[in-house]
Structure 1
Amino acid sequence: MRRAKISIIGAGNVGATCAHWCAAAELGDIVLLDIPATEDMPAGKALDLRQASPIMGFDSSVIGTTSYDDTAGSDVIVVTAGIPRKPGMSRDDLLATNAKIVTSVGEQIKATSPDAVVIVVSNPLDAMVQQMWKVTGFDSAKVCGQAGVLDTARYRTFLAMELGVSVEDISALLMGGHGDTMVPIPSCTSVGGIPITQLIDPARLEEIVERTRKGGAEIVSLLKTGSAYYAPAAACAQMVEAVVKDKKRCIPVAALCHDEYNVGGYYVGVPAIMGTGGVEKIIELSLTESETADFQNSVDAVKSLVATMDELLANG
């Protein structure tokens, strides 16, 4: 059997670190691509990573390129391309520029890898994955967004820090848009099977949720120049693994919802089963009245963001 072909579009911090995680786990052969203006930068990062293989003991091929021809026939494509957030910027500030970048990338993917599963990471996430699906025309199961894995990881990290327990024992779920309107689901959050509500009082739990919502901005403010990349890249690698190994992982994914949760044709974060086919099944939960209201508020924010994006693109 041939190895899976994994292409990563965008060789910045998130893309290069995603390549690192995927190579180290031997998930497949990797193509790291960036725009021609970067010249030999992707090739340099790829060669450096490949030279780590004898030390770390992995045999994945890693190449860097500025040509989409090298990505042809990819099984999975991770799209990190776009400008990053700077201090004081919201994800929404990135909308106009990154929508144009994602449009260009989507056109290239459609031409070179029509059977790929596409995982979008570019921000603002929910609008970018909606645009990717629109541009490629792929089955919606083959186009999804990475946000929920990252948001849930941040949530689990903060809960572990609060309780002094292993992150491995914490199960959690966040739904909705990627940003300040994300929705925690307390009934799906536990520590070693113990409901989180029995371990942390509601007021403190809400403070942890709020820190999770602003998790990316907190890192941006600390770094001063740049945004998070270790955890976002690891989250991407987990989704790549679910596809190439047909893991059937039940994870939060930005997936296209129609009748599900009465969303009506938008990408939002929901629990889903991921395997070789991409988003193979969306899981519908019975939400409480307050969770339903919060989720609808988050969906409305996504709809507004998409409408703004469509208007910006239509006006050039």
Structure 2
Amino acid sequence: MGKKKITVVGSGNVGASVAAYASAQELGDIVLLDVIEGMPQGKGLDMWEATPVLGVDTRVLGTNQYEMTEGSDVIIVTAGIARKPGMSRDDLLATNVRIVAEVAEKASKFSPDAIMIIVSNPLDAMVYTAWKKSGYDPARILGMAGVLDTARFRSFLAEEIGVSVEDIHALVLGGHGDTMVPLTRYCFVGGIPITNFISEGRLAEIVQRTRQGGAEIVNLLKTGSAFYAPAASSVEMAKSILRDKKRLLPVAAYLNGEYGEKGIFVGVPAILGTSGVEKVIEIELLPEEQEAFDKSVEAVKGLVKEVDALL
């Protein structure tokens, strides 16, 4: 079998954190790729020099050449510009379409059988861009959003209730952004419904904070956006794929009739294994949940239309 190979495209805060987490969990050898000369090489060398201390046998290699990524099992795309205060994820569209399109085209050429995880924003539109340019089967291309959104939701709920984050299970659907749909009905603390712990009014406030989770960090940092939690979320997805764990995770996946939608990538629960998105799980939505989901899908469709015009 040999070791798995993971390519991380973009060696900024998110990409470097992805590589560091993946290396620390011994998921495979890692190629860190960036257009900036010296940066991926320096960070890759630094991470590799940490492996004796961490006690892991993973090689981390930085490069500017796509040739070095050949034969990757998983490609995690973090390349693109990050948000600044006052910017929405959608403001990044034109620049990041160009970047992600080029990455998907080049990376897929050297790793035609890989599974690609997109982290770049605006997320759902970037997954669509990568799919169009990579030529991959849609099951082998997915976006990291729901894992991050639920992680934020779980963190806020754990803090509010005073329990371990491990005991909180939550589900967020829809596009990654202000229209995301946290489903409080599917939210449990150790199997007990969340409403046993929190009033509806307070829960609504926490839902709103989750929707604004990324903006909250952007406003605090002032010079960039979140990177530790997005990186950890991407690695969680990669781990389920590389180790065929069949985790049920909320991801931006291709819909082919599920939830009444077709030909679009949007946040839904899915089972992740060696072939990528192995199954999209359809859950019954209440009328108000369906309405919120439809609204979210419409926002994604608007961005996809812009992507089509740019490609």
Same fold, TM-score > 0.5, yes or no:
yes
Counterpart of 1:99?
97
Corresponding position: 1:111 with 2:109: yes
Counterpart of 1:26?
26
SS at 2:58 equivalent:
coil
Identity of aligned residues (%): 60
Would you say how many aligned residue pairs link Structure 1 and Structure 2? 311
Equivalent position to 1:210, from 184, 208, 211: 208
Counterpart of 1:266?
264
Q: Which runs of 5+ in 2 are unaligned?
A: none
Question: Displacement of 1:185 after TM fit?
Answer: 1.1
Query: For 1:76-87, what aligned pairs fall within 5 Å after superposition?
Result: 76-87=74-85
Q: Which runs of 5+ in 1 are unaligned?
A: none
Counterpart of 1:121?
119
Question: Displacement of 1:54 after TM fit?
Answer: 1.0
Distance 2:24 2:216 in 1: 28
Question: Deviation per CA, 1:84-106, whole angstroms, max 9, x where unpaired?
Answer: 11111100000000001011011
SS at 1:307 equivalent:
helix
Distance 2:128 2:27 in 1: 27
Distance 2:212 2:18 in 1: 22
Query: For 1:1-316, what aligned pairs fall within 5 Å after superposition?
Result: 1-35=1-35, 38-311=36-309, 313=310
Question: So what's the TM-score if we normalise by structure 1?
Answer: 0.97
Distance 1:297 1:62 in 2: 42
Amino acid at match of 1:52: A
Question: Deviation per CA, 1:174-233, whole angstroms, max 9, x where unpaired?
Answer: 000000000011221000111012211111111101100110110010011111000000
Question: Displacement of 1:151 after TM fit?
Answer: 0.3
Question: Displacement of 1:290 after TM fit?
Answer: 0.8
Question: Deviation per CA, 1:16-51, whole angstroms, max 9, x where unpaired?
Answer: 00000000000000000001xx11110100000111
Question: Displacement of 1:258 after TM fit?
Answer: 2.0
Distance 2:2 2:141 in 1: 23
Distance 2:174 2:299 in 1: 9
Amino acid at match of 2:4: A
Question: Displacement of 1:110 after TM fit?
Answer: 2.2
Amino acid at match of 1:3: K
Amino acid at match of 1:13: N
* CA RMSD across the alignment: 0.7
- Stretches of 4+ aligned residues off by more than 6 angstroms: none
Q: Which sits farther off after the overlay, 182-191 or 10-19?
A: 182-191
